[in-house]
Amino acid sequence: MGSVMSNPKKAFQITQNTLSPDKVVQLSANKFSVFYGKNEAVKSVSMDILKGAVTAIIGPSGCGKSTFLRAINRMNDLIPSVSVSGELSLEGTEIYSTNTDIMALRQRVGMVFQKPNPFPKSIFDNVAYGPRLQGISERKRLSEIVEKSLGRAALWDEVKNRLQENALGLSGGQQQRLCMARALAIDPQILLMDEPTSALDPRSSARIEDLIDELRGKITIIIVTHNMQQAARVSDFTTFFYEGLLVEYGTTRNIFTMPSDKKTEDYITGRFG
């Protein structure tokens, strides 16, 4: 092991969170590949993601992180050239089975993107969007969900007096918390986050990290990040992707303090990437 790693605790502040002993696999990939035409962007990845855990996906640009993430709620289906092989199952049910109800899947697997993308609608209507799609129309019930979801996203106090205002009038950090509230409003089992703080200032990023910490144990979170400090701070498990391959997967503590692969070590110590 190289000298840079000799005092890793100095380099990374690592999450102290531990998982409950009753570990349940929520998402399981088995030799799972994703192709754009003939280009295999995710190559035969096998990994089990545990329920309630925060799992970080790290790796250099173009290594397939977003492709893998988007495969989980079948966002890639929107791209015509995409095909998959292998298995990807959610609590034992194959996600790419022909009888998967994609709407139902996306209600179980919510997503927050890099750039906050609120709808050009009121704050209230943004959060009520998913519940309305689920058929909830009673105003009182919707108001309860909106308040609870904005509360969970730590935004309620800032917006409670302006729920009817357009969401595009919020700051970037507020918009991203609104997007989290919108995702949480449908009670997803999994929340996918693709570089959710890379467009935010440090204070807004810290608030999103706090939210992730509060959701730990309640929702399974898979977060793609280029920020090694962030991965170390918020995740229980880390997986390192390189050129479409899963190089290493383990507890965040192990990946950041004693990676077994030289490439992982080089990446997290900033030698490339």
Ligand X SMILES: Nc1ncnc2c1ncn2[C@@H]1O[C@H](COP(=O)(O)OP(=O)(O)OP(=O)(O)O)[C@@H](O)[C@H]1O
Report the C-alpha gap between 44 and 25 in whole angstroms: 19
- Residue listed under structure tokens 């706090």: 210
Residue numbers 132-171 binding ligand X by CB under 6 A: none
Q: Of 68 and 256, which has the nearer Cβ to ligand X?
A: 68
The HSE-up count of residue 220 (CA atoms within 13 Å, CB side) is 17
- Cα 54 to Cα 160, 204, 236, 251: the distances in Å are 29, 19, 5, 10
The HSE-up count of residue 179 (CA atoms within 13 Å, CB side) is 26
Exposed/middle/buried for 203, CB within 10 Å: 0-12, 13-18, 19+? exposed
Report the C-alpha gap between 247 and 240 in whole angstroms: 6
Minimum Å gap between C-beta 267 and Mg ion is 15
Residue 168 binding partner per list ligand X, Mg ion, none, with a CB distance cut-off of 5 to 8 Å that depends on partner kind: none
Q: Of 62 and 270, which has the nearer Cβ to ligand X?
A: 62
Q: Of 184 and 224, which has the nearer Cβ to ligand X?
A: 224
Of 49, 63, 88, 163, the residue at the interface with ligand X (CB under 6 A) is 63
| Binding pattern for the stretch 3-42 against ligand X, x by CB under 6 A and - elsewhere | ---------------------------------x----x-
67 binds ligand X (CB under 6 A): yes
67 binds Mg ion (CB under 5 A): no
Minimum Å gap between C-beta 194 and ligand X is 7
Q: Using only the alpha carbons of the chain, give its radius of gyration.
A: 19
Minimum Å gap between C-beta 241 and ligand X is 7
Report the C-alpha gap between 259 and 42 in whole angstroms: 21
For 244, other C-beta atoms within 10 Å of its C-beta total 21
| Binding pattern for the stretch 195-224 against ligand X, x by CB under 6 A and - elsewhere | ------------------------------
Q: Which residues in this chain contact Mg ion in the complex, by CB under 5 A?
A: 66
Q: Which residues in this chain contact ligand X in the complex, by CB under 6 A?
A: 36, 41, 59, 61-67, 79
